[in-house]
Amino acid sequence: MLKILRINTRTREYRFEDLGDYAGLGGRALTSRMVGREVPADCHPLSAANKLVMAGGILACTNAANSGRTSVGAKSPLTGGIKESNVGGQFAHKLPKLGLLAVVFEDKPATDAPFVTVLVKKDSVEFLDAADIVGKCNYAAHDVLKARFGEKVVTALVGPAGEQCLMASNIQFSDPDGRPSRSAGRGGLGAVMGSKKIKAVVLDPEAKDAVEMADPEKFKVARKRWTDILMGHPVTSQGLPTYGTAILVNIINEAGALPTKNFRTGRFDGAQKISGETMTETIKARKGAYKHGCHTGCVIQCSQVYNDKNGEYLTTGFEYETIWGFGANLLIDDLDDIAIMDRTCDEIGLDTIEMANTMAMAMEAGLVPWGDSKGAINLLKKVGTSDPLGRILGNGTVFTAQAFGVDRVPVVKNQALPAYDPRAVKGVGVTYSTTTMGADHTAGYAVCQNILKVGGDVDNLGKAGQVEISKNLQVATAAVDSLGLCLFVAFAVLDTPDALQVIADMVSGLIGKPYSVDDIVGLGVNCLKDELAFNRGAGFTKEHDQLPAFFRNEPLPPHNTIWDFTAEEMQAAKVG
């Protein structure tokens, strides 16, 4: 049986615990249950009472396709509510090789205590001096750790932003190529890690434990069918591998839902120049890679290696959200400059969605002109330095807006909106408004039914059906995040009648007990209930389930629709 490793960051004591009440959980279901039970909802997110949980999903100990996502949980410094930040990379598959389902960081050292590197080995934990990497950006820090622990070392790092406990700071996880490129981006969890004075978590690369399947044959059959399902759907086998998520730029722009100039219009003149098609052409010309997986066992391969003009590696995990945020939303159409901003965020340890919206606030305030990519890059690079402006920007969208008196601030629960204007993709607007996470497209990706027509067909501009699809997607997503599967499996799952049963069969094969589709649904529902309970304790009401007033007052061209849901109507999107 896998264990939970608890590490006290103040006393440096640790213990390996049986799962106990947490048995049967994994990923988000585990982090949210644990945060809900063990963290006082009204504590300061940077105080000793907060905990940082890193967990693999239920299927992380298997070789099921796309089962290597890691859930990072805590009370969020950004939203003040519960947070599960979901990330690729090698971490989740490495944990079971150490006999672990999760690592929990508790308490905190004195503010002036030195940063440490926490080395997790099979039966022990070492607190190592982090002087060799403190203050370093993530790629350089990871290089130091590779030199120290070997090329295959698996790491979770905070950059200078996390060291400063800034609210837009993320945690960067290492990928199969030995780069710290994968971001547990949202909600400022890098600040929680920084507050506990952890610069790096290192998983012993030598660990090789295997978890036995209770019913290997059942698992094997289901696993095979699972791979076939993913490889048989056009989105997961062709669209995403060829163009990455940036395939959405032209699609969402065409739909009139690409937020442009801080959510002023739904179409961007420069869309073609920053599209997935342009990206793939550019990658091919520069001998990068347009098919690339963020973790071992990924068959979708939506990632890529994006090289600069000289053919040198520039970035990877270059997502639609990032391209939209530093692109259309800032009136920037230079894909290379956007790639530099993506890399800069990965280096400093910043959430790209939060920072892209932050840059929009900086442009609203006149710090740099709209469309000025070089100016935006210069601003970004201030974060993590001693410049107080960097502290403002690194604390995110609302903070920057407050610092400069900007009143047009696209956030829900203090977290900045992603790349779909809710006035033109109303289903995702319901998700933004009601998810426990603050504005988050991944929490219930109604773009499927609203725009892509996967898993249903609901008019993106109308209200009918939106609450229902968002609610169902939120439950399904919580389950997917708990299983440790990549969310993109949903494209195939939604269109494949036996897919959920196949997933249930994989779990059943692993645990050797019956596992049903209802169990999967229950996993999602209970996870959301845990999260909602925490958020109520943190002071959230239905009044927080609403978009900022400007979405209700300003029609969005070209469709000239407004956001016309009340907070009351939103309540039906929440479980329980």
* Residues between 84 and 113 with contacts to a copy of itself, criterion CB under 8 A: 111
Least CB distance from residue 379 to a copy of itself, whole Å? 11
How many residues bind a copy of itself, per CB under 8 A? 46
Put residue 104 in one of left, alpha, beta given phi > 0 → left and psi -120 to 50 → alpha: beta
From the list 124-132, 148-156, 191-199, 311-319, the region that binds a copy of itself by CB under 8 A is: 191-199
- Which of 29, 191, 222, 355 binds a copy of itself (CB under 8 A)? It is 191
* Residue 568 near a copy of itself by CB under 8 A: no
Q: What's the min distance (Å) between Cβ of 45 and a copy of itself? A: 8
Q: 549 CB contacts (<8 Å, ≥6 apart)? A: none
Supply angle C-alpha 441, 88, 37, rounded to 5.
Answer: 70
Q: For residue 116, list its beta bridge partners.
A: 129, 198
What is the Cα–Cα distance from 428 to 417, expressed in whole angstroms? 10
Stretch that binds a copy of itself, among 276-284, 428-436, 522-530, 537-545 (CB under 8 A): 537-545
The nearer residue to a copy of itself, 376 or 392, going by C-beta atoms, is 392
| 536 lies in the site for a copy of itself, by CB under 8 A | yes
Q: Which of 89, 194, 244, 293 binds a copy of itself (CB under 8 A)?
A: 194
Write phi, then psi, for 21 (nearest 5 degrees): -60, -20
Binding-site member from 402, 468, 521, 562 for a copy of itself (CB under 8 A): 402
Shortest spacing between CB 570 and a copy of itself, in angstroms:
13
The CA angle 355-145-11, to the nearest 5 degrees, is: 85
CB-CB neighbours of 557 under 10 Å: 15
CA distances from 317 to 20, 306, 444, 481 (A): 36, 9, 21, 19
Give whichever of 105 and 488 is closer to a copy of itself, judged by the CB atom: 105
Which residue's CB is nearer to a copy of itself, number 136 or number 544? 544
Q: List strand residue ranges (DSSP E) for 107-231, in order.
A: 116-120, 125-129, 154-157, 171-173, 182-184, 198-203
Q: Which two tokens stand for residue 81?
A: 């509510």
Q: Does 328 bind a copy of itself (CB under 8 A)?
A: no
Rounded Cα–Cα distance for residues 104 and 276 (Å): 38
Residues between 356 and 395 with contacts to a copy of itself, criterion CB under 8 A: 364, 387-389, 391-392, 395
Choose, by CB under 8 A, the member of 474, 546, 573, 574 that binds a copy of itself.
546
Binding-residue pattern over the window 57 to 86 for a copy of itself, x denoting contact by CB under 8 A: --------------------x---------
Sign of CA dihedral 198, 199, 204, 210: positive
Q: Which residues contact a copy of itself by CB under 8 A?
A: 40-47, 49, 77, 111, 164-167, 191, 194-195, 364, 387-389, 391-392, 395, 399, 402-409, 536-541, 543-544, 546, 548-550
